[in-house]
Amino acid sequence: MPIQLMRQTDQPLYLQVAEQLRQQIESGELAPQTRLPASRILAKKLGVNRITIVNAYAELEAEGLVTSRVGSGTFVAVNEDAPPPASPLWRGTLSPRRPWNANQMVAEMMRLARQPGVISFAGGAPASDLLPVHELRRALNEAMRRDGAALLQYEEAAGYLPLRETIAAQLQQQRIPVNGQDILITSGCQQALDVTLNVLTRGSDDNLIVVEDPCYLGFLDILSAHRMTPVGVPVDAQGMQVERLEQIILRHRPRLIYTNPSFHNPTGTTLSLARRRALLEVATRYGVPILEDACYDMLYYEGQPLPSLKSLDTADLVFHAGGYGKTLAPGLRIGYLAAPSAWQERVIAAKQTADILTSPLNQHALHAYLQSGHYDEHLCLTRRVYRERRDLMIAAVQRYFPAEATWRCPTGGMYLWLEMPPSGPTATDLYLAGINYNVAFAIGSVFSASGPFSHALRLNFATPAADEIEEGMRRLGKAWKELLTRSLNVPQPSQRCAVPIL
């Protein structure tokens, strides 16, 4: 039973073992009812940890290729008796036959979120039960009655001016000195980020961008698409550790500083007022533009929000990006960008090049909705419900997770950043084990270009209903205990395991 391991590849060792045993079983080299070596013996022979072989055998058992018999060992299954795979959710993106990388894990998280019966804490969507469907329907109908066929034609690339003026009025309430002409309508906040990076890096040989570490995954994707390299600044309880910035700027000469200062995705932290001022001071001194991702700014639960960087900016360096995807409806795909005056024509040109314009129908409908006065009511309801769900999730963490797990209570936003004990199973371990319990979350390591946060989980408390939060956290807690039991090699009743432990 020859097995050759390649330790320099990204594929986990247990998957390499499982793949080679699978080939030997399917080719007939290992006949039905053949007894496989004991995990301890094979581990010693291959020079790996015993848990690697346990994982490999568990994977093969989940596929119905082998069976376990208490006290006897693991045997190649007889075809007619081979049970079906235990978890159809596993048969997909995270297949042992495919590469193992961050993009793959993200795709699997999103796939799981759409599966029937899965409680997902993985995504970034607002709560479906709070979407103002009836009010938006009325706004759409009103827009169509008023403007009809014109909404199905082209409009100005910068966007519908009355909507831009309404957004400017909202920003003025946050002490941001803008008018409608300063606002560019984009296809979601994501495009506002992309447009900014596009204009700031075009024609430049400098490819370094300062980001928070961990960082919003969507911005890391934008950097990758533009072949930019992120330079991470650690985040603590007060947000980005701005005191490290000057040294980074002097060493790397970055083109841009990206920050999500309020209710940061993924950690939920908020950049303190002192650090906001320090960030602006350093950026102004060295002339480095700042891209402020403000998509969560209105989701505050404790008192009033801190002033935005744009409102504190006296040097006209801040690109302020926001939208209505997190606070209202992501399907509208409407965001906005308030760029420094010197860059406004260039961001409009970049937007026009990217997709010509944002849907006029959606722009006019959103304008009608904002003018109706329902948005403020919707925000008040959303803040109240999200705060309640945040509290429910924290209480569930305290009930179902180990005392060594750490977190900070976010004062707004949608996410709880939970760090599990570093001596225990990783977040990837828990994610894979959670599949068996129909529960999903976002693995912390995908939010970092440098790869740490292996024991961190990002949990969305906004999307699930209250009963789903309780049940989902109970399932995760159960999966965690199961992992601990297995890692300690405590004997368990024989059962088919669909998910290996990395």
- Whether 361 and 241 share a structural domain: yes
Look up residue 83 and give its amino acid.
Answer: P
- Whether 113 and 77 share a structural domain: no
φ, ψ for residue 21, nearest 5 deg: -65, -40
Residue 267 forms part of a structural domain = yes
- How many Å is the Cα radius of gyration of the chain? 26
For helices 217-225 and 188-201, the axis angle rounded to 10 degrees is: 40
| 333 within 8 A of 295, measured Cβ to Cβ | no
H or E stretch at 183? strand 183-186
- Whether 221 and 288 share a structural domain: yes
pLDDT score for 444: 95
Name the β-bridge partners of 73.
69
Residue 2 forms part of a structural domain = no
pLDDT score for 58: 84
H or E stretch at 335? strand 335-338
Q: Give counts: helices (H), strands (E), the chain.
A: 16, 15
- Whether 175 and 306 share a structural domain: yes
Q: What is the mean pLDDT of each run of 10 residues along the chain (502 residues)?
A: 77 85 87 90 87 85 84 81 39 38 65 78 94 97 96 96 98 97 98 97 86 96 92 96 95 96 98 98 98 98 95 98 98 98 97 97 98 97 98 98 95 98 90 88 90 92 97 96 74 36 26
Residue 497 forms part of a structural domain = no
- Out of 337, 372, 407, pick the residue that ends a domain: 372
Count of domains observed in the chain: 3
Can you give the CATH number for the domain in which 33 is found? 1.10.10.10
| 299 within 8 A of 415, measured Cβ to Cβ | no
- Whether 214 and 74 share a structural domain: no
Q: From 426, 473, 434, 429, select the one nearest 452 (Cα to Cα).
A: 426
- Whether 338 and 483 share a structural domain: no
Q: From 94, 95, 88, 85, select the one nearest 117 (Cα to Cα).
A: 88
Residue 428 forms part of a structural domain = yes
- Whether 313 and 395 share a structural domain: no
Determine the Cα–Cα distance for residues 86 and 476; give it in Å rounded to an integer: 18
Structural domain containing residue 25:
13-84
Helix (H, G, I), strand (E, B) or coil at 344: helix
Residue 252 forms part of a structural domain = yes
Residue 89 forms part of a structural domain = no
Can you give the CATH number for the domain in which 247 is found? 3.40.640.10
Name the β-bridge partners of 318.
290
- Whether 194 and 343 share a structural domain: yes
Residue 4 forms part of a structural domain = no
pLDDT score for 293: 99
Determine the Cα–Cα distance for residues 162 and 160; give it in Å rounded to an integer: 6
pLDDT score for 407: 96
pLDDT score for 421: 94
- Whether 307 and 436 share a structural domain: no
pLDDT score for 494: 37
- Whether 385 and 473 share a structural domain: yes
All residues at 6 or more sequence positions from 387 whose CB lies less than 8 Å from its CB, including other chains: 301
Query: Any idea what the Cα angle at residue 291 is, between residues 313 and 179, rounded to 5°?
Result: 55
Residue 74 forms part of a structural domain = yes
pLDDT score for 98: 35
- Whether 367 and 394 share a structural domain: no
In the Cβ-directed half-sphere of 158, how many Cα atoms lie within 13 Å?
16
- Out of 372, 402, 417, pick the residue that ends a domain: 372
Name the β-bridge partners of 185.
336
- Can you give the pTM of this predicted structure? 0.79
Can you give the CATH number for the domain in which 108 is found? 3.90.1150.10
pLDDT score for 351: 98
- Out of 356, 372, 388, pick the residue that ends a domain: 372
- Whether 363 and 388 share a structural domain: no
DSSP assignment of 227-294, as one string? T-EEEEEEEETTEE-GGGHHHHHHHH--SEEEE--SS-TTT-----HHHHHHHHHHHHHHT--EEEE-
What is the DSSP code (8-state) at residue 406? B
Determine the Cα–Cα distance for residues 385 and 464; give it in Å rounded to an integer: 11
